[in-house]
Amino acid sequence: MPLRDALGNVEPYRPQPPMRVLAERAGLERMVKLASNEGAFGPLPAAVAAYEAAASELHRYPDGGAASLRAALGERYGLPPEQVVPGNGADELIRLCAAAALDAGDAAVFPWPSFASYVSAAGVHGADAVRVPLRDRAFDLGGVLEACSAPAPGGGRVRLVYLANPNNPTGTILDPAQLRGFLDALPAGILCVLDEAYAEYADVEPEGPALLREGREALCVLRTFSKVYGLAALRIGYALASPAVAGALDRVRPIFNANQPAQEAALAALGEADEVARRVGHAHGARERLREVLAAAGLDPLPSQTNFVYADVPGGRADALAEGLLAEGLIVRALRGFGAPGAIRVTCGTDEENSAFAEALARVMARDV
Ligand SMILES: Cc1ncc(COP(=O)(O)O)c(C=O)c1O
């Protein structure tokens, strides 16, 4: 077959069955999904109105330059629009960063457990994914720097670092001074991607945009409308990057990667600051409560700077716990695929969903885990 050898090393994404199928299997009317870190409250009404208004123009190609969205985001972050690059979700931009930085034989370095897309992004380019284990459930930036200075296993060069800040699945955030020290020490010729998909939920906004305003060169910051803005299905995210990196992303991205209804809905969502703040406030309360519930049930949760909570399961029985919860109608993420086979991650839902989780967790833990 005329397919690239590198693809042999790439695991295909294994989607979960649709909610309807899971509900049927469990013999339940409905399932509560707390597994994908979506916002708990649905799309913002202004975004829905903009999306519906865009329907009459569906026969037109999107604005490939995403001019209005770039201008609005540029203004928000104090950066020129050219330093904003739209993406089909932040996930696509993770891939585009790899396409811009990696040749076959090169390597991407990142802490692990972290977001699994970094692994496949490197793999599809024939590059190695060098995973640096967490230390005490936190990033080992010294270890990441060491890996960046070591030879790439494939004979090329280390060219890319992904740092999810806050991290998925652990929900932890880097101390800003530590991050600056890391960037200062990073060897030249390595692009650092700060994946800030959960930025809005952090107690203090992570510093990616500020670092770019200072003129740092080998830097790309990723954000998304999938989480607190409630637009996960539309697939819209963006990169903020130095002029050189943004220019490279514009060269590798498909011109119509951000569809028009997504651009319009995202623009409208940006204007809903009060409701976004309310939702962030809700997530702050919910993650604290979730942490208490998990600890009370005997798990070992981490404090979170996101809209989800990571917890180690006693005896490492995360798969069994997730299965038990599934049978009760609760979908949470068992973290084997993230490199943490003994842990689960629970997304903050609505109050009702969170209470349903707490009750189901107590039942399952009492029974068999
Ligand atoms: C750390 C991280 N980066 C990127 C993404 C992808 O976000 P998007 O929906 O914008 O593709 C996610 C989604 O879960 C994530 O957790």
Segment 270-303, tens digit of pLDDT: 999 999 999 999 999 999 999 999 999 999 999 9
Instruction: Provide the residue count of the chain.
Output: 369
- 217 and 334 fall within a common domain: no
> 281 alpha carbon to ligand 1 midpoint, in Å?
21
Do both 94 and 241 map to the same domain? yes
Range of the domain at 116: 45-270
Closest CA to 331 of 343, 311, 345, 352: 345
Shortest-distance Cα residue to atom 15 of ligand 1? 197
pLDDT at 369 over 90: no
Query: Sign of the CA dihedral 261, 262, 263, 264?
Result: positive
Domain end (from 220, 247, 270): 270
Statement to judge: residues 211 and 76 lie in one domain: yes
Assess whether pLDDT exceeds 80 at residue 195. Answer: yes
The structure's pTM equals: 0.97
At 3 the three-state DSSP class reads coil
- The structure tokens listed for 272 are 């809903």
CATH number of residue 278's parent domain = 3.90.1150.10
pLDDT score recorded for residue 176: 97
CATH of the domain at 50: 3.40.640.10
The answer to whether the CB of 89 is under 6 A from ligand 1 is: yes
- Residue among 351, 334, 261, 339 at smallest CA distance from 299: 334
What are the C-alpha distances in Å from 305 to residues 4, 28, 287? 40, 33, 9
Question: Measured between alpha carbons, how far apart are the two ends of the chain, in Å?
Answer: 46
- Specify the ligand 1 atom closest to the Cα of 91: 11
Look at residue 194 in the predicted model and tell me its pLDDT: 98
| Backbone dihedral angles phi then psi of residue 160, each to the nearest 5 degrees | -145, 140
**Which of the pair, 1 or 135, is modelled with greater confidence?**
135
Taking Cα atoms as reference points, which of 13, 122, 81, 51 lies closest to residue 247? Answer: 81
Return the pLDDT at 368: 65
Q: Which ligand 1 atom is at minimum distance from the Cα of 37?
A: 14
Percent of the chain with pLDDT over 90: 91
Taking residues 341-355, report their average pLDDT. 97
Same domain, 127 and 194: yes
Give the ligand 1 atom nearest the CA of 88.
11
Q: Average pLDDT for residues 187-204, to the nearest whole number? A: 98
Residue with the smallest CA separation from ligand 1 atom 2 is 197
Same domain (yes/no): 249, 232? yes
Where is the domain boundary, 253, 270, 287? Answer: 270
Q: In this structure, are 222 and 89 located in the same domain? A: yes
Rounded distance from Cα 307 to ligand 1 centre (Å): 12
Tell whether ligand 1 has an atom less than 6 A from the beta carbon of residue 164.
Answer: yes
Whether 91 lines ligand 1, by a CB cut-off of 6 Å, is yes
**13 and 65 housed in the same domain:** no
CB 195 within 8 A of CB 164: yes
Residue 279 to residues 25, 162, 165, 204, Cα–Cα distance (Å):
32, 27, 20, 16
